[in-house]
């Protein structure tokens, strides 16, 4: 049963609504434009624009933008990914119109003044410096640079000190013109309203936006080759990532890899990697695996941090677990338990209503369709042990795996 409603404005902007009988509304505006859409020497531009959207518009200064929702106790924020820019807010139901008014203003009427650009460059440079001080964060971005060598999807979303410093207003306006297509925008609401009211307000605030349909030229990244890299850092522990390119969001094996990732190193303390490396051998405080699908590729990675003298043993134990999955089918009980655990976690995640509506909006943006919870469960339950064995041999192929280590300087 479809549990959402959707409507498309004449300019192509889509409206998504999911009912929730609560006093709090969660809403978001997602644009299909992210760091992978940046040109050469423009690393960090999409993220820079996201910051500047909150600075000045034709009608409001920075304080007026920030106070528009915060004065009524609402929470306003935004983020940039490899493929999306998202603005989101949580607020009392009676203030929805305020958020729609603000979203329209900052997305379509920002002026990007030079003085604000210079101030925000300083903020982002501090953000880059802060991230570099956190090796568990920095190693993921460095790993992606090796995984997608010479491709924009491997670039750091924040950019580099050099690229951020040289950005200007012309870069900003050119990026928006080339990537902010109204046909690839979605405004989504999770709250307690009549859908007719949502449509009426959407027509009021977004209906007059000029239609734009620039054609992005996203290039599929080339397959990676195996590699082993060591980077010396002024740190006290060794940090390590082991991984490979993975399936896209539309691949037939996506759900199988999601299940396999959860079994191997996903949420909770009972994952295979956590039980083997932390609980049994007491080597690493943090060990986890992650699978991030994009529209035409994906990332699978395993991360751990440990004392340098234990790092090689931890790596061997990781590869031991990967070999098991390549060599042996899961038994009937193992497969059943893995599915039950994953399905339960997905059901609990529905309680995060902001995360849910953002996920639904992305699905509508990418596939023009949103699976119900029952659809998701059915797809997971349809995964077979033979499929997981095939996935393991493709994604955990020793001839394609890349390993990156941050080691302490001597």
Instruction: Give Cα 323 to chain centroid, integer Å.
Output: 29
**Interatomic CA distance for residues 16 and 24, integer angstroms:** 17
Give the residue from 240, 237, 257, 260 showing the smallest Cα distance to 249. 257
* pLDDT score of 217: 84
Is residue 213 situated within a structural domain?
Answer: no
- Residue 62: pLDDT over 70: yes
pTM of the model: 0.94
Residues 194 and 236 in one domain: no
**Do 79 and 187 reside in the same domain of the chain?**
yes
- List the beta strands (DSSP E) in 93-220: 185-191
Burial 392-401 (b: 16+ CB within 10 A, else e): beebbeeebb
User: What digits encode the pLDDT tens for the residues 147-181?
Assistant: 999 899 999 999 999 999 999 999 999 999 999 99
Span 256-285, mean pLDDT?
A: 94
Q: Is residue 236 in some structural domain? A: yes
Distance CA 386, CA 379 (A): 15
Residues ≥6 apart with Cβ < 8 Å to 114: 169
Answer whether residue 211 is part of any domain: no
Indicate whether 181 and 235 sit together in one domain.
no
Q: Do 150 and 9 have their domain in common?
A: yes
CATH number, domain containing residue 279:
3.30.830.10
Q: Write b or e for each residue in 197-206: b if 16 or more Cβ atoms lie within 10 A of its Cβ, otherwise e.
A: ebbebbeebb
| Whether residues 274 and 380 fall in one domain | yes
pLDDT band of residue 268 (cuts 50, 70, 90) is: confident
Distance from C-alpha of 361 to C-alpha of 84, rounded to nearest angstrom: 11
Judgement on whether residues 283 and 317 belong to the same structural domain of the protein: yes
Q: How many residues does the chain have?
A: 410
Residue 348: is its pLDDT beyond 70?
yes
Cβ atoms of 290 and 314 closer than 8 Å? no
* pLDDT: which is higher, 3 or 176: 176
Are 192 and 287 members of one domain?
Answer: no
Chain centroid to CA 151:
18
Angle at 60 between CA 57 and CA 61, to 5 degrees: 90
Cα(302)–Cα(300) distance, integer angstroms: 7
Residues 61 and 111 in one domain: yes
- Domain boundary pick from 206, 237, 272: 206
C-alpha span between 193 and 94 (Å, rounded): 10
Supply the range of the domain harboring residue 376. 227-408
Give yes or no: residues 260 and 114 share one domain: no
- The answer to whether residues 14 and 155 belong to one domain is yes
- Tell me what pLDDT residue 59 has: 96
pLDDT on residue 285: 87
Per-residue pLDDT band for 48 (boundaries 50, 70, 90) equals very high
Please report whether residue 221 resides in a domain.
no
User: In the predicted model, what is the mean pLDDT of residues 247-251?
Assistant: 97
**What is the tally of structural domains in the chain?**
2
Give 395-410 pLDDT, tens digit per residue.
999 999 999 999 998 7
**Does some domain include residue 22?**
yes
Query: Is 360's pLDDT higher than 80?
Result: yes
Out of 206, 236, 271, a domain closes at 206
Residue 118 lies in a domain: yes
Q: What is the pLDDT of residue 233?
A: 93
Give the pLDDT band (50/70/90) at residue 1: low
Last residue of a domain, one of 176, 206, 236: 206
Domain contains 212:
no
Answer whether residue 214 is part of any domain.
no
358 and 288 within one domain: yes
CA distance 126 to 357: 31
Q: Cα separation of 210 and 181, whole Å?
A: 10
Give the pairing type, strands 85-92 and 75-80.
antiparallel
Query: Are 137 and 284 found together in one domain?
Result: no
């Amino acid at each position: 049963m479809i549990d959402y409603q959707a409507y498309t404005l004449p300019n192509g902007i889509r409206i998504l609504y999911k009912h929730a009988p609560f006093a709090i509304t969660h809403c978001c505006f997602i644009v299909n434009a992210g760091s992978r859409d940046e040109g050469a020497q423009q690393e960090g531009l999409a993220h820079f624009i996201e910051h500047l959207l909150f600075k000045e518009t034709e009608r409001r200064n920075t304080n007026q933008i920030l106070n528009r929702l915060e004065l009524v106790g609402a929470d306003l924020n935004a983020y940039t990914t490899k493929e999306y820019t998202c603005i989101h807010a949580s607020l009392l139901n009676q203030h929805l119109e305020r958020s729609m008014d603000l979203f329209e203003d900052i997305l379509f009427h920002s002026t990007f003044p030079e003085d604000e650009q210079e101030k925000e460059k300083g903020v982002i440079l501090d953000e880059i410096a802060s991230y570099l001080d956190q090796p568990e964060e920095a190693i993921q971005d460095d790993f992606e640079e090796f995984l997608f060598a010479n491709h924009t999807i491997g670039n750091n979303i924040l950019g580099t000190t050099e690229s951020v410093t040289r950005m200007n207003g012309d870069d900003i306006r050119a990026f928006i013109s080339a990537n902010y297509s109204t046909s690839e925008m979605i405004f989504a609401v999770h709250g307690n309203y009549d859908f007719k009211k949502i449509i009426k307000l959407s027509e009021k605030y977004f209906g007059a936006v000029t239609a734009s349909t620039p054609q992005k030229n996203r290039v599929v990244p080339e397959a990676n080759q195996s590699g082993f890299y060591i980077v010396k850092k002024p740190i006290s522990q060794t940090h390590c990532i082991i991984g490979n390119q993975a399936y896209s969001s539309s691949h037939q094996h996506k759900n199988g890899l999601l299940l396999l990732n959860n079994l191997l190193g996903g949420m909770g303390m009972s994952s295979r990697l956590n039980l083997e490396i932390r609980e049994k051998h007491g080597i690493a405080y943090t060990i986890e695996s992650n699978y991030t699908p994009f529209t035409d590729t994906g990332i699978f990675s395993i991360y751990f941090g440990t004392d340098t003298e234990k790092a090689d043993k931890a790596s061997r134990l990781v590869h031991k677990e990967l070999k098991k999955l390549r060599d042996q089918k899961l038994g009937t009980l193992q497969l059943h338990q893995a599915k039950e655990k994953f399905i339960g976690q997905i059901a609990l995640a529905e309680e995060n209503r902001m995360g849910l509506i953002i996920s639904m909006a992305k699905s509508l943006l990418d596939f023009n369709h949103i699976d119900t919870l029952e659809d998701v469960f059915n797809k997971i339950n349809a995964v077979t042990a033979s499929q997981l064995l095939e996935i393991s041999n493709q994604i955990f192929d020793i001839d394609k795996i890349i390993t990156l280590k941050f080691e302490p300087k001597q």
